[in-house]
Amino acid sequence: MRKIEQVITPEPVVEGAGVRLKRSIGTKRLNYLDPFLLFDDFTSPNPADYVAGFPLHPHRGIETVTYILRGEVRHKDTLGNSGSIGAGDLQWMTAGRGILHEEMPQDGPGGIAGFQLWVNLPAKLKMTPPRYQDVRSGQIPVIRKENGTEIRVITGCVGKTTGPVKGIAADPVYLDVLVPAGGSFALPVEKGHSAFVYVFEGEVLFPGAEPVRAPALAVLGDGDRVEMKAGGKPARFLLVSGKPLGEPIARYGPFVMNTREEIEQTLKEIREGTFIPS
Ligand code: MN
């Protein structure tokens, strides 16, 4: 059984052109949970916290996973891709050798709710061509248990249900789980894979541990199974796991490579205008 190894209280961070968000991975406290490089929660009822957005910026060597629960994020890149991610939608973007894109959360009366996760790419795929997997809300299967628990399977398998995001090197599982007040939840999780639970509504009780109250990220120790209960209110959380790459990392902002030299090379391409081949 996996136990809680560490509970991270998200840190306030200002990112992009002035977006106020809460970061749980990619900080001094937890720099890297191999293969996960960053986890941001940009939920806010107040558009002033996020409308500045993330104007044109590059990525290389990673995947960025954007999941929206409320509101809308418009995006476009210099390769000609553009679109909108709305409530319940997800975009799994493999930046590979490089993209230059903008991500703009839209002004709206309900504010916005959503997350961005960065997943590392192994050395052999860092320079792979960029790829998007855009998933609409209706394509995400929902498992409904007898006790009222709902599991949205974004990637990975739960029983016979497989999520729509495919072909990711880290063999990730990404689930959005709602457990009713007092309800129990248990699931196998691949042994040896890194795993975390990000609680964003209510509280979650792990056996023998203090309640994990939203917003908080619980890093799980190794094991082949998780078991938990919701507190006195419904609990909603992401359960994410992935295979550690076990490779050296050199990170510099939106670029994550294996060596300093590869970062220097990337910065040189940005300076010289050759980052995106024409
Ligand atoms: Mn980005």
Write out pLDDT tens, residues 128-183. 999 999 999 999 999 999 999 999 999 999 999 999 999 999 999 999 999 999 99
Average pLDDT over residues 111-128: 98
185 alpha carbon to ligand 1 midpoint, in Å? Answer: 33
CA of residue 261 to ligand 1 center, whole Å:
22
Domain ranges for the chain: 4-272
Give residue 58 CA to ligand 1 midpoint distance, Å: 7
Question: Is the torsion defined by CA of 178, 180, 182, 186 positive or negative?
Answer: negative
Å from CA of 199 to ligand 1 middle: 23
CA of 69 to the centre of ligand 1 (A): 18
Q: pLDDT per residue over 181-207, tens digit each?
A: 999 999 999 999 999 999 999 999 999
- Could you tell me if 181 and 230 are in contact, meaning their C-beta atoms sit under 8 angstroms apart? yes
pLDDT of residue 143: 98
Q: Check residue 78 and give its pLDDT.
A: 86
Q: What is the pLDDT of residue 166?
A: 95
**pTM higher than 0.95, yes or no?**
yes
**For residue 67, how far is its CA from the centre of ligand 1 (angstroms)?**
13
Asked whether residue 278 carries a pLDDT value surpassing 90, the answer given is no
CB 152 within 8 A of CB 142: yes
pLDDT at res. 79:
86
pLDDT in tens, 236-271: 999 999 999 999 999 999 999 999 999 999 999 999
CA 86 to CA 207: how far, in whole Å? 36
Ligand 1 centroid from CA 63, angstroms: 9
- 218 alpha carbon, distance to own chain's centre: 14
pLDDT of residue 198: 98
Report whether pLDDT(63) > 80.
Answer: yes
pLDDT, tens only, 29-61 = 999 999 999 999 999 999 999 999 999 999 999
* 168 three-class SS: coil
157 CA to middle of ligand 1, Å?
27
| Mean model confidence pLDDT for the chain | 97
78 alpha carbon – ligand 1 mean position (Å): 12
Q: How far is 191 from 198, CA to CA, in rounded Å?
A: 19
pLDDT of residue 186: 97
Task: Tell me the pLDDT tens digit for each residue of 75-85.
Answer: 999 888 999 99
Fold of the CATH domain 4-272: Jelly Rolls (2.60.120)
Separation of CA 223 and ligand 1 centre (Å): 33
Q: What is the pLDDT of residue 83?
A: 94
Ligand 1 midpoint to CA 103 (Å): 6
